[in-house]
Structures are given as structure tokens and as C-alpha cells.
Amino acid sequence: MTAPSPKRPRTHPAYTLLYHPSVPGRGEYIRLAFEASGVSYSDPAKEGTDGYDEVLAVCDPSSTGDEDGNPPVFAPPALRVPGAGKDGKALVIHQTPNILLYLGPRLGLAGADEAEGFWVNQLALTALDVNNEAHDTHHPVAVGDYYEAQKEESLRKAKDFRENRLPKFFSYFERVLKHNESAGEGKYMVGDKLTYADLTFWQVVDGLHFAFPNEMMARASEFPFIFENFYPAIKEEKGIKAYLGSDRRLEYSMGLYRHYPELDRQ
Amino acid sequence: MTAPSPKRPRTHPAYTLLYHPSVPGRGEYIRLAFEASGVSYSDPAKEGTDGYDEVLAVCDPSSTGDEDGNPPVFAPPALRVPGAGKDGKALVIHQTPNILLYLGPRLGLAGADEAEGFWVNQLALTALDVNNEAHDTHHPVAVGDYYEAQKEESLRKAKDFRENRLPKFFSYFERVLKHNESAGEGKYMVGDKLTYADLTFWQVVDGLHFAFPNEMMARASEFPFIFENFYPAIKEEKGIKAYLGSDRRLEYSMGLYRHYPELDRQ
């Protein structure tokens, strides 16, 4: 977890991220928002031996909600915010884009006004669609089965993703960066400062570099805003740079983004 | 389109839904929000011969945004709201859950307070995840190809969806309805009135009835809140009942929800 930020000195973090240990996964989109803004957070599954129990409890598949009046959680990531729920109780929410929506204005990552807020949100949602399609390249027909049991289908899905979906999505984000060039200088998608849309798409691009290194190298020149401006610039944002250099940043492995050489461009 | 509602008499509708003609698709989640609340809207692709041109123009795959400062749109549905953007210009936003988020409080469909608003949003997002997985049962490996070209993969994906994913999601929504039973009486998921979470999940359940009639019939007794309370009750909501009985409600065909008997329970 982060060192206490100057904004919240010597107090227990106001936010608890409930996610799996060991993989970046969808929790990483939330972590990046905290890290970029320098706001401290708890991440119990990463912090201690009993931490993951708290995550498993909140996602119990027989739960009908908690004692604070929160509805059940479908799956991690979830966010707990003491005092922010009904009658001063804890608020517990889930769904990655919903958590980003909640945190966005509180962490200063949601744009300068209401219109920008909805643009930021639509861009984060679209980036998360890419995330989901990247996941499906190694699990196209049965989420609960092993990759090895759906390898033939994966080869076909990955080919379609690399040849059709990735360029379609990247063309879109390239045009978004171009649209905002005068304010964002090719590094911010909305307005003239960092938002959770940037962080979310950055994590997608980073994950795709891990999963499909050949494909990404071959595509780089097609999308100069993304590859030459945006991707390296976000990496240099103060909080992000510190985070990426720390041991808090988990390595990719057998999570959402996986490197199977046979699925990459040959 | 709807008759002018009492709330906006004799004025041009404040909201324009930009979506494909002929299929309910993702546009239907937006239409249901308008219809349930009795707020009038334009739906140009359904209204006239040139209407679809407006939709195609806003989603032009070479667009870098519009003259009102809106970023490009990735795909329909999009929403145009004159006067709601920067400097009194038109706001144009996309992504189904983002449009629902925008309309929710404006149409009185987002719950009673901030906590409820985030619960409503997470439930709509989770329902839309089911929507996406239902789509993928007939397009598991190549979104742009014909179903017939990926039928073997579809049989396997549909089996996994019916046997694993559908019961997992339905168990979740059943527990949400149970959690809120005292306020929602088994028909509302959050609080004591209709929200866009209810409308979104209702449309998913309705689409699944069309796509997988055998599976749904076989599962009905497992999820009594959903099948006996929620689904029939939302159908009787005033605006929804009138809409479903009108010629504005499009029939399912070759869109998101498709009925291929071979993909259903045998």
C-alpha cells in the first residue's frame, strides 16, 4: 500500500480496495487512480495473511447484502468507504467503472466540468471494453475452463482481436487524442489534465504490450499519438512513475493479460 | 417516437437518441428509460428516411469530433442534448451505461440519494455484462463474421452461458431483489421505486426469454423473485406497459438477442 499522502496524514486510509492478491487484473484500474492522485488506500489482500478473507467475504456467492445496507457484490473489485453510505454507515460498491466514477471527482481525475465528466466516463468504459475483449482472447468460449481446453477457439479469437478489434479501438483513441490535441498535447484525452480515462486506457495499452508484444510493435507507427505521446507521457506522471518503480506494482502473469506467444502476431 | 409528454408540452424533445433502426439492440436500454418516465425523445433512425444519416454521421469512423467540441463517438447508441455541452453547445455522449448515468437523475430513475445512485449504476453495469455475454453466444470468436461461420464455437459458448454464466448472474440479481425486499417488494432492486437498474435488467431478462426460451422456462423455479415478481411487475409499470403495447417497441430479430434453437437447452 501507499505511504500516507500529505492530504490524509496519519489517519487510516479513507478507501479500501477489495480485490484479489497476486494479479493486477481489474483492481489495477482502481490502484492507478489512487497512485496517480497520491491518495492513500488500503488493499488488504496484498497487505496481510488475513486480508483476502475480507475480499472473499464481501463477494460471498450466497450473500444478500451486508449489515450496512449495501446490496451484495457480484465480483471484485469492490470499494469500501467508511461513513459514506446510508446514515453514516460504510458504502460498499462494485463494478470497475462504477468505482472509477465514484473516485473520479474525489481524486481530481474526472475533468473540469460536467460535460468533461461524461466524456471521461465514456472513454474509460470504452477502454474497459478493450480490456474485456483482450481477456476473451484466451477464454473465448468458457470463462471457467483452462486456456488449454479452448486453445483452438483462442487462436481464432486472438486473430480477430489483433486484426480487427485492436485497430478499430486504437483508431478511436488516436482520434480522441487528436481531437483534444490543443488542450491535451497528445497526452491527455479530455481537457488539459490527467483523468481516469487516461489511466484506464494507459493500463490497457500496457497490458496489451505484455500480451501481444509483436502485434503492438507492428502497429506502433499506425497510431503515433498513442504510442509516441500518450503511452510514454502517462508513465512519467509523478504518482504513476513512483508507483511503477515500486514493489506495489504487481507483475502480469496468469490474469487478464496473458502472454501466449501462439496468440500473438507470428 | 413518443407523443409529447405532459412534462414537455409542444416543444421539440430535449433528447435525441442516435441508434440503428430495425433492432432493439443497446438502444432499447435507453428507450425504456424515456418510455418509463414519460419524457419525450427523438429517435431519428426510426422516424424518417434521412434519420439514420444523422446516426452514421456521428459515428463516422474517421471523425475526430464535432463542431460543438464533443469527442468522437465509438459506436451507437449516442445521445445528443442541445444546450447541455460546453458554452451552451450540444452535448453528445456515447456508451450505453454512460447515457443511462446521464439520464438517470434527469428522468427520476437513479434512486433516492447518492448511495442508491451508485448501487443503481453498478446493477445496470452488471446487467449489461449479461447482455454482452448473451451477444457473444452467437458471436464468440469473430464479431464481424456471420454466425454460420462460427457455429461450432457458438454451441460451446452457449452451453457455458446457459449452464454457468446465466445461473451465476441470475443468482446475483435474485439476491439483490431479496436484499431489497422490504422496500422493493421483490419488484425494485434499489429503494421503493423504479430505477434504470430495474429497466436494464428487465430488458436482459426479456431478451433472454426470446433467445433461450427452453432454458428460461427450465430455470424459472430457481429464481422466484426474478420470474414471479420482478419480470411481470416491471412489465406493468405505466409507461412500460403502454410502450410494449405500441408499435414503437421493435421486435427482436437478428440483433443482440437471437433465437437459434440449436443454442438453447435441448
- Per residue, the 3-state secondary structure of A84-105, as one string, reads CCHHHCCEEEECHHHHHHHHHH
Mutate which: B18, B141, B173, vs A, most A CBs within 10 A: B141
HSE-up (13 A, CA, CB side) for residue A78: 25
Kind plus residue range of the DSSP H or E element containing B221:
none
Nearest to B72 among A97, A165, A175 (CB): A175
**Per-domain residue ranges for chain B?**
16-106, 114-263
pLDDT confidence of A13, banded at 50, 70, 90?
A: confident
Q: What is the pLDDT of residue B11?
A: 59
Q: B45: Cβ–Cβ under 8 A, 6 or more apart, which residues? A: B18, B19, B20, B21, B51, B52, B54, B55
Q: What is the pLDDT of residue B50?
A: 87
In the stretch 47-86 of chain A, residues with CB closer than 8 A to chain B read: 61-65, 70-72, 74, 84-86
Q: Which of A195-199, B125-129, B253-257 has the lowest mean pLDDT?
A: B253-257
Whether residue A76 is predicted with pLDDT greater than 90 in this model: the reply is yes
Size of interface A-B (CB pairs under 8 A): 141
CATH 1.10.10.10 fits A114-237, yes or no: no
Q: How far apart are CA B235 and CA A182, in angstroms?
A: 49
Whether residue B149 is predicted with pLDDT greater than 90 in this model: the reply is yes
Q: Does A156 touch chain B (CB under 8 A)?
A: yes
Contacts of B222 in chain A (CB under 8 A): none
Q: How far apart are CA A54 and CA A73, in angstroms?
A: 12
Q: Which three cell numbers stand for residue A118?
A: 461524461
Burial B154-180 (b: 16+ CB within 10 A, else e): bebbbebbbeebbbebbbbbbbbbbbb
CA B174, A134, A215 angle in degrees (round to 5)?
175
In the stretch 90-109 of chain A, residues with CB closer than 8 A to chain B read: 91, 93-95, 97-98, 101-102
- What digits encode the pLDDT tens for the residues A19-38? 998 899 999 999 999 999 99
- What digits encode the pLDDT tens for the residues B51-104? 899 999 999 999 999 999 999 999 999 999 999 999 999 999 999 999 999 999
- What digits encode the pLDDT tens for the residues A148-177? 999 999 999 999 999 999 999 999 999 999
The fold of the B114-263 domain, in CATH, is Glutathione S-transferase Yfyf (Class Pi); Chain A, domain 2 (1.20.1050)
Q: Which of A220-234, B38-52, B67-81 has the lowest mean pLDDT?
A: B38-52
Whether residue B13 is predicted with pLDDT greater than 90 in this model: the reply is no
Judge whether A13 and A80 are in contact, CB under 8 Å.
Answer: no
Contact A180 B71 (CB under 8 A): yes
Using DSSP's 3-state secondary structure scheme, residue B90 falls into coil
CA-based nearest residue to A200, from A179, A223, A169: A169
Kind plus residue range of the DSSP H or E element containing B224:
helix B224-224
Specify whether the backbone of A264 is left (phi greater than 0), alpha (psi in -120 to 50) or beta: beta
Q: Which three cell numbers stand for residue B250?
A: 421493435
When pLDDT is averaged across residues B170-180 and rounded to a whole number, the result is 98
pLDDT confidence of B49, banded at 50, 70, 90?
A: confident
Judge whether A19 and A55 are in contact, CB under 8 Å.
Answer: yes
When pLDDT is averaged across residues B115-129 and rounded to a whole number, the result is 98
Give the number of residues written for chain B.
266
Percent of chain A with pLDDT over 70: 95
- What digits encode the pLDDT tens for the residues A110-145? 999 999 999 999 999 999 999 999 999 999 999 999
Q: How far apart are CA B212 and CA B175, in angstroms?
A: 22
pLDDT confidence of A11, banded at 50, 70, 90?
A: low
Contact A101 B91 (CB under 8 A): no
HSE-up (13 A, CA, CB side) for residue A87: 4
Contacts of B175 in chain A (CB under 8 A): 62-65, 72
Name the strands in the sheet holding A91-94, side by side, starting at the edge strand that comes first in the sequence. A16-18, A78-81, A91-94
> With the C-alpha atoms ordered A242, A245, A248, A254, is the resulting torsion angle positive or negative?
positive
> How are the residues of chain B apportioned to helix, strand and coil, as percentages rounded to the nearest 5?
55, 5, 40
Q: What is the CATH number of domain A16-106?
A: 3.40.30.10
- Written as one letter, the residue type at A15 is Y
Percent of chain B with pLDDT over 70: 95
Contact B136 A136 (CB under 8 A): yes
pLDDT confidence of B139, banded at 50, 70, 90?
A: very high
- What digits encode the pLDDT tens for the residues B178-228? 999 999 999 999 999 999 999 999 999 999 999 999 999 999 999 999 999
DSSP secondary structure letters along A50-93? THHHHHHHHT-TT----TTSPPPP-SS-EEEETT-SGGG--EEE
Q: Does A112 touch chain B (CB under 8 A)?
A: no
Residue A114 burial (10 A CB sphere; 0-12, 13-18, 19+): middle
Q: Which three cell numbers stand for residue A218?
A: 507492428
Q: What is the pLDDT of residue A47?
A: 86
